[in-house]
A and B are shown apart, each in its own frame.
Chain A
Amino acid sequence: MLTESKCEKIIDEALGLAERASSKKRPIELEVTVHSNQESTSRFAGNEMTQNQSAEMDSLSMRLMVAGRQVKVTGERMDKTGLTNLLEQGLTCAARLEEDPELWPPAKLNSKRYPGKLPRFRRFDEATAAMSAEKRAELVRSAVEVASRRGVSLAGIVSSGDEVTAIGNSRGLRQFCRQSSLEISLTASAGDSTGWAKAFSTKADIDVSALAERAISKALAGRMPQDIEPGRYLTILEPSAVLDLLAFLWWDFAATSHIDNLSSLKDKLGTKVFSDKLTIVDDCSHPLQHGLPFDGEGLPRQSVQLVEEGVFKNIVTGRRSADKLQLPQTNHCLPQPDSMGEMPLNIVVKGGETSLDDMIASVGADQEAILLTRVWYVREVDPATKLLTGMTRDGTFLVRDGKIARPIKNLRFNVSLFDLLNNIVALGESVGAAGEEGIPAVVPPMLVKDFNFTEVTKF
């Protein structure tokens, strides 16, 4: 992995080369992003290791602005020759472009417009980053042991690694962040049923046996699933299900989605659009969050209130989009150029006081509710109404009279996020959740009414 001092040296060298090539006639501005990543993933299925890989990759991008013409070139050779070649390639391309008078130079730290400080946190753990194949195999064996004892078949991954992101530019900005990660996800199969559990952390603090127990218990409770009529049901969504549905809403808070008329929240700023039970912030400093303290241009990410008691409060912006919409600059740019512009990447949905058990207990004798462990293959059917479709998976149960009545076959749903988030009955405690559609976030379990299941499948 590239160290902070090595990244600095490479960035300085690249900026030096650009400065020397810059002239009055051909002024060059440069933003350099160095990315270094090592990730190792042990995969197993049927209680046996099936694949096991480890890869390291470094890359360097130069976003060049040459007399108002922008080009991004990416390579991996970080010696002087490599950097010179990359710069030359970028300059050759730029010379073929038309000038864009609206192009902005790279970002400046401590500018008048934005004097903010970098959020401080440590998300790097040496032992997690350096976890060996043998150690991962040990974790796999621990999980498989629990499965063998319970007579089920287990599949999953143990994935560990770390990554470095460093940004520097010709306006004096310098940023560096290194973070480690551990991800474990498990699927238990018990004949005609499956159960799933997943955890993500920036350090090796995941209890793999407890996670296996969760997946296995779901699978065992799900045996002999029965048919159910589709329709609108009171529904209990576990945090992973909430995360993977709400993931389709986050870009609608981004300035570019408003500028391009693609946001379902367009022209709704300051109005009440969701249940007053819903409060959402984007906060990269939250202790259960992960990710970088700066945005794609290297500016310090701001904590932003997106929704307060159902009212759409703020749009996340980058330098340019803030200026265009005349909104506060929140520093949520994706690495530029990007057609999506910005994204809130550190979502925290405020929780409530109703535990998952309380939600189950609240279902009356004359009521039926459906409990979802997770959702799968969620896609946007209609971006304007935020109509989503998807399937349930790995643990779907009918709840009646205060308890889980029986496992049921999986269902397809078609649900508008506006309906879902106006139909909240209760929220549980917010937790660090991981799914497969969105990046990990801090979300609570939800009890919602009238969740629209449209079809059943055969398992």
Chain B
Amino acid sequence: MEASSTLTANILDSLHAPLTFQLLSIALEAARSAGATYCDARILKRQSQFIQTKNDKLLALNQEESTGVGIRVLANGGWGFCATQNLSEKSLSRCAQQAAAIARASGSCRREAIKLIPEPAWRATWTSPHLIDPFTVELDTKLDLLLSCAETILKVPGITLAQGMLHFIKDRQFFANSEGAQIEQLSIRSGCLIEATAAADGDQQRCSYPCSFGQYEQSGYEIVEKWNLPAHAEEIARRAVALLSAPTCPRGEIDTIIGASQLGLQIHESMGHPSELDRALGQEINFAGASFLTPDKLGKLRYGSKLVNLVADATASGALGSFGFDDEGVQAQCTYLVKDGVFKGYLSSRDTAALVGLRRSGGAMRAESWNYAPIIRMTNISLVPGEAGSLEDLIADTKDGLYMETNKSWSIDSMRYNFQFSTEAAWEIKNGKLGRLLKNPSYSGITPDFWNSCDAIAGRSHYTEWGTPNCGKGQPMQTMWTGHGASPARFRKLSVGIAQAGG
């Protein structure tokens, strides 16, 4: 792509706010002239750095930059979206006209025109909290960190593979719409991961830290320091080797304490996705699936025990799914999805809110990048901490049970009822104490039955905002970063071990 005007060249170098909004207004005007009844336009500049080590070597140092504009238009009652990297004035006008033409084609395949629920036209700037811009931290510091972890892991006899990863993303985004909104946002996301694998005699076991796929937060380099990878390298290596000779997790109905990061993914799959209103309305049925949480169940379904409170909180400071405004300009909110065990709310957008008669969009429209139309996504879907104290208190309060930690595999049906998860490790609990390490643990169930069996949730001191960097949804599929605050919780008579039971 070549810069073809002074205005554009300036924007590419600095993304100066007044000039960028001036450019966006050209797109909005072109859409209006082409018959748009609504238009929004987003310019996003993304910068990323990905560092990966394998054993004692740097495997990949990849740095990327991408800038472009996505223009979304309502015309003839239908949606159209068009995106380009060419930010010349002419190109923006052409892109807006093309979006309008696409919208008209959509309108020809609609019985009713799409309506948007009102939202104030915000003029605001928002910056994610960060202390250390990760792009200012020297490469040597980052590499030394990962390679020192690898050295520790590889020293443990029986280890066959050590891997490490650091990932940093900086997004600068400008949003404007035909209703007068002008929003500028800066988001910095940081992720870190170390993994140890032991393989022998046809078996292989992997242990990760801080969680599988890496812990991501909306934060600067300080999170890498906070999670202190070197202090945990030996522990995961020893556990991976120990798992090779550990007994297999039994099959049965067993009281189980689920560790916070695994519970984060459980929340993601069995509360986050089913509460997406586009799924509940059947709009995602062709790929991601639908939802058992249909609108007739709102305010009525006992989703979980009275202890279970789940929120969609896009305002949680530093959590991966936070923002100031979503990608259609709706202000970040914190709303209950489940209150005292009852299903209370949806993740929604301006058009789906209008379809079911909500008063306001829940503000969950997010796009992977400038070249994707926003769709309903999770923000931070979190389990409100309980009053059961610490993880140790939970274990002490369990006579005969299991403790499972760190996700290994995950699968759930297309309506979000039946799920099966496996974790990297589990421990027996006997008379309030942790016992033997067990390998290949798994559990399964039906979503409402599972949440209704929850009888204890640890408190705020054991609460962590876990981040999931790889949530797939939509066609073409978009990858989104979502947050899941959770503390460890206990589930009575959980079905355990069917995966490995051999039928």
| Contact of B444 with A by CB under 8 A | yes
Q: What's the Cα separation between A153 and B163 when bound, in Å?
A: 48
Residues 33-74 of chain B: 1 if any A CB is under 8 Å from the residue's CB, otherwise 0?
000000000000000000010100111111111111010000
Quick check: B103 and A137 within 8 Å, CB to CB? Answer: no
Binds B, one of A202-210, A279-287, A384-392: A384-392
Quick check: A54 and B411 within 8 Å, CB to CB? Answer: no
Binds B, one of A20-28, A66-74, A305-313, A363-371: A66-74
**CB of A52 to closest CB in B, whole Å:** 4
Binds A, one of B18-26, B255-263, B298-306, B367-375: B367-375
Residues of B within 8 A of A329 (CB): none
Query: Do most interface residues of chain A lie in helix, strand or loop, or is the interface mixed?
Result: strand
| Contact of A326 with B by CB under 8 A | no
Of residues 172 through 217 on chain A, the ones whose CB sits less than 8 Å from some CB of chain B are 185-187, 189, 194, 196
Given contacts A77-B3, A261-B160, contact A339 B54 (CB under 8 A): yes
Write the chain B residue with the least CB distance to A411. Answer: B418
Quick check: A97 and B61 within 8 Å, CB to CB? Answer: yes
Residues of A within 8 A of B98 (CB): 54
Residues of B within 8 A of A456 (CB): 418
| Contact of B292 with A by CB under 8 A | yes
Interface size on B, residues (CB 8 A): 89
Write the chain A residue with the least CB distance to B114. Answer: A50
Quick check: B420 and A389 within 8 Å, CB to CB? Answer: yes
| Contact of B317 with A by CB under 8 A | no
Residues of B within 8 A of A339 (CB): 52, 54, 59-60, 163
The range of chain A's interface size is 35 or more
Q: What's the Cα separation between A185 and B101 when bound, in Å?
A: 23
Quick check: A459 and B286 within 8 Å, CB to CB? Answer: no
Write the chain B residue with the least CB distance to A390. Answer: B411
Quick check: B442 and A74 within 8 Å, CB to CB? Answer: no
Residues of A within 8 A of B498 (CB): 414, 454-455
Given contacts A377-B411, A381-B442, contact A189 B161 (CB under 8 A): no
Write the chain A residue with the least CB distance to B373. Answer: A53
**CB of A97 to closest CB in B, whole Å:** 7
Residues 320-333 of chain B: 1 if any A CB is under 8 Å from the residue's CB, otherwise 0?
00000000000000
Q: Which of B66, B79, B283, B287 is in CB contact (< 8 Å) with A76? A: B66
Given contacts A57-B68, A261-B199, A262-B204, contact A100 B57 (CB under 8 A): yes
Residues of A within 8 A of B80 (CB): 52-53, 133
Residues of B within 8 A of A186 (CB): 286
Quick check: A391 and B110 within 8 Å, CB to CB? Answer: no
| Contact of B335 with A by CB under 8 A | no
Residues of B within 8 A of A196 (CB): 286
Q: What's the Cα separation between A452 and B498 when bound, in Å?
A: 11
Quick check: B106 and A379 within 8 Å, CB to CB? Answer: no
Q: What's the Cα separation between A378 and B414 when bound, in Å?
A: 12
Given contacts A79-B3, A156-B286, contact A51 B79 (CB under 8 A): yes
Q: What's the Cα separation between A391 and B366 when bound, in Å?
A: 28
Question: Which of B85, B412, B420 lies at the interface centre, i.e. has the most chain A CB atoms within 10 A of its CB?
Answer: B420
Known: A54-B99, A93-B139, A454-B503. 7 other contacts (CB 8 A): A40-B102, A48-B110, A71-B61, A155-B285, A157-B287, A261-B161, A376-B289
Closest 10 CB pairs of A and B: A457-B418, A49-B109, A133-B105, A55-B83, A53-B81, A55-B371, A49-B106, A337-B60, A261-B199, A74-B64
B: which residues have CB within 8 A of A? 1-3, 12, 52, 54, 57-68, 70, 78-85, 98-99, 101-103, 105-112, 138-140, 143, 160-161, 163, 197, 199, 202-204, 281-287, 289, 292, 371-373, 375, 408-415, 417-418, 420, 422, 440, 442, 444, 446, 475-476, 498-503
A: which residues have CB within 8 A of B? 39-59, 70-79, 89-90, 93, 96-98, 100, 102, 132-134, 136-137, 140-141, 144, 153, 155-157, 159, 185-187, 189, 194, 196, 230-232, 260-262, 266, 337-339, 376-385, 387, 389-391, 393-394, 410, 412, 414, 436, 452-459
